[in-house]
Amino acid sequence: MKNKVYSVSVNFSGTSWAEACQKTSNLDADIQRLAKAGGDDVHMHQYREPMLGAPVVLIECPEAFLEKVKKLPLFDAVRPVDATTPTIRRTDAPQIEPPEAMMPKRKGPKL
């Protein structure tokens, strides 16, 4: 049976945008450590196109792993990602160049 993709989020109430993003990043790292420690069949996803809204962690996993995620301190809510919402495994996504790689090297004295 194919695993589903889930959207996992932290509690955003009373937090700034920066705090919500940091909490989400920390939850993402916690989920990755949990998957690595347990050897579970887990794949991190991202949206194919930029999406607006609250930051979330997208994971493809079995329901048994999802139960472990629900016990993490930063976990607040989970919902299945609608099959019509296009996501891609992060490992399959094109790599984004860092901003400095996209800027041409400037020759001459600094201004």
Strands of 57-61's sheet in order across = 77-80, 4-9, 57-61, 43-47, 87-89
Residue 47 domain flag:
yes
Convert the pLDDT of each residue in 53-94 to its tens digit.
778 999 999 999 999 999 999 999 999 998 888 888 888 766
Residue 110 domain flag:
no
Query: How many domains does the chain divide into?
Result: 1
Rounded CA separation 70/39 (Å): 17
CB atoms within 10 A of CB 38: 12
Residue 95 domain flag:
yes
Residue 19 domain flag:
yes
Of the two residues 6 and 53, the one the predictor is more confident about is: 6
Residue 109 domain flag:
no
CB atoms within 10 A of CB 27: 22
* Full domain range(s) for residue 9: 4-102
Residue 24 domain flag:
yes
Residue 111 domain flag:
no
Residue 34 domain flag:
yes
Lowest-confidence segment of 22-31, 59-68, 93-102 by average pLDDT: 93-102
CATH number of 44's domain: 3.30.70.1510
